């Protein structure tokens, strides 16, 4: 096997090892995928200001996110169907995050349940992302389950009231478990590692939903429930309700506009995540990194502003930090590692990002990530665009 040196190497390996419908679920966006691509490519327009003759002997990337000490300003983002990239995927990713010293965020639409992840990490606190469903009693139950699992922060995602049209998922007939079509059978048969892993686990459904939501006790009822439950009436009053019911740290994800950022603060957010859902919702929306500075200017002194979308390297983390983000989230970079090599692959992805962050910070003459600001960026950057 070739040496793994970057996140792209993990992506290539994951594509070989993960069934097509689940790989495409990760590596794709809505409609033309222009926003999905911009999330990544817009980072490339930002240049660093290289400095020399600075004492860079002692460097640290340690900081805090929501008051929690972290080894670097990176957290694992909530990603649906993680357990379809690799058997027990959420449990493996959570363990890798715990070992590295960064937060892990579990999605409502995970394959492994809140309780399974909590047990797999030895009750180590993690963050939980909740979708507001039409059945508010189910949402309330999720919040209580997160509390019992010792989750230290709750995240509410605001930009999935309706689904963006994702052509790859439609063409592949995405489903959990995969439908036994000839095409699926032939493709999955070539993914021996994946098949062996799935045969060895009982986690093959949406563990937070099946057996917990009213009337959902089978695969067919689960499909119907999922289609019906995302709520187009979601409002800031719902965020206030969640904050009151939860009582702890609340993160609001899916913010691209400064006015929405201010509304999130008013509703009780302790942190907001600048995010366009990985380019999977409104195609043509701005990339996360271009939306970041205006939101930092609007609310950055009141709450922590984090960034999600397009992070493929430690250099991306450093650029987001320079533009005001107090933390960043990785979704696809983690999933590529997971699909490629399981828990070891997630750990490798984190090591890659850490090394790139540390070295790039050194080249910019900085030794402490907490002291990084826009001064590390080259003056001819189109700062007005970021």
Q: What is the mean pLDDT of residues 318-347?
A: 98
Query: Do 4 and 13 meet the contact criterion of CB atoms below 8 Å apart?
Result: yes
- C-alpha 192 chain-centroid distance: 27
- Which range has the worst mean pLDDT, 17-31, 269-283, 353-367, 369-383? 369-383
More confident residue, 116 or 211: 116
> How many whole angstroms separate alpha carbon 126 and alpha carbon 204?
22
C-alpha separations of 120 from 95, 107, 138, 149 in Å: 7, 16, 24, 11
pLDDT given for residue 219 in this prediction: 63
Name the pLDDT band for 2 (thresholds 50, 70, 90): confident
Q: Are strands 127-130 and 105-106 parallel, antiparallel or unpaired?
A: parallel
C-alpha separations of 348 from 97, 160, 345 in Å: 11, 31, 5
Q: 216 pLDDT exceeds 90?
A: no
* Active-site annotation, residues: 277
- Which range has the worst mean pLDDT, 53-62, 68-77, 119-128, 221-230? 221-230
pLDDT given for residue 200 in this prediction: 97
Looking at the DSSP assignment, which residues form a beta bridge with residue 68? 65
pLDDT digit string (tens) for 163-187? 889 999 999 988 888 988 999 999 9
CATH placement of domain 7-378: 3.20.20.70
What are the structure tokens assigned to 366, written together?
Answer: 């900085």
Name the pLDDT band for 379 (thresholds 50, 70, 90): confident
Q: What is the mean pLDDT of residues 283-290?
A: 98
Q: Angle of helix 314-322 relative to helix 332-363, nearest 10 degrees?
A: 70
CA 191-197-200 angle, 5° bins: 140
> How many whole angstroms separate alpha carbon 313 and alpha carbon 295?
23
Name the pLDDT band for 230 (thresholds 50, 70, 90): confident
More confident residue, 329 or 211: 329
- Which range has the worst mean pLDDT, 119-123, 198-202, 230-234? 230-234
Q: What is the mean pLDDT of residues 340-352?
A: 98
pLDDT digit string (tens) for 52-99? 999 999 999 999 999 999 999 999 999 999 999 999 999 999 999 999
Q: What is the mean pLDDT of residues 352-362?
A: 98
- C-alpha 370 chain-centroid distance: 22
Mean pLDDT estimate for the chain:
94
What is the pTM assigned to this prediction? 0.95
pLDDT given for residue 380 in this prediction: 66
Q: 25 pLDDT exceeds 80?
A: yes
């Amino acid at each position: 096997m070739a040496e793994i040196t970057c996140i792209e190497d993990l992506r290539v390996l994951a594509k070989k090892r993960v069934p097509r419908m689940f790989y495409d679920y990760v590596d794709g966006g809505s409609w033309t995928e222009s926003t999905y691509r911009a999330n990544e490519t817009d980072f490339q327009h930002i240049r660093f200001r290289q400095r020399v003759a600075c004492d860079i002997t002692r460097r640290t990337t340690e900081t805090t996110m929501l008051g929690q000490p972290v080894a670097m300003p990176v957290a694992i983002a909530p990603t649906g169907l993680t357990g379809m990239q690799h058997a027990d995927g959420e449990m493996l990713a959570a363990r890798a995050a715990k070992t590295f010293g960064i937060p892990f965020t579990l999605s409502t639409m995970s394959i492994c349940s809140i309780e399974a992840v909590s047990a797999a990490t030895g009750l180590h606190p993690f963050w939980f992302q909740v979708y507001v469903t039409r059945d508010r009693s189910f949402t309330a139950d999720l919040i209580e389950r997160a509390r019992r699992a010792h989750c230290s922060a709750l995240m509410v995602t605001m930009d999935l009231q309706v689904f963006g049209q994702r052509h790859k998922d439609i063409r592949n007939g995405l489903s959990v478990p995969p439908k036994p079509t000839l095409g699926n059978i032939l493709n999955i048969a070539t993914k021996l590692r994946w098949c062996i892993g799935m045969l060895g686990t009982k986690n093959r459904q949406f563990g937070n939903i099946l057996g917990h939501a009213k009337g959902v006790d089978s695969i067919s009822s689960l499909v119907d429930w999922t289609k019906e439950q995302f709520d187009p009436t979601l409002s800031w009053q719902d965020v206030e309700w969640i904050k009151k019911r939860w009582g702890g740290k609340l993160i609001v994800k899916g913010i691209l506009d400064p006015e929405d950022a201010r509304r999130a603060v008013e509703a009780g957010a302790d942190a907001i995540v600048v995010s366009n859902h990985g380019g999977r919702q409104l195609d043509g929306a701005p990339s996360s990194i271009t939306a970041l500075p205006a939101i930092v200017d609007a609310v950055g002194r009141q709450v922590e502003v984090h960034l999600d979308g397009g992070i493929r390297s430690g250099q991306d983390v450093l650029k987001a930090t320079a533009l005001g983000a107090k933390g960043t989230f990785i979704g696809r970079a983690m999933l590529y590692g997971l699909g490629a090599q399981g828990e070891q692959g997630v750990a490798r992805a984190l090591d890659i990002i850490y090394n790139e962050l540390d070295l790039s910070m050194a080249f910019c003459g900085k030794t402490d990530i907490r002291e990084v600001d826009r001064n590390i960026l080259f003056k001819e950057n189109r700062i007005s665009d970021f």
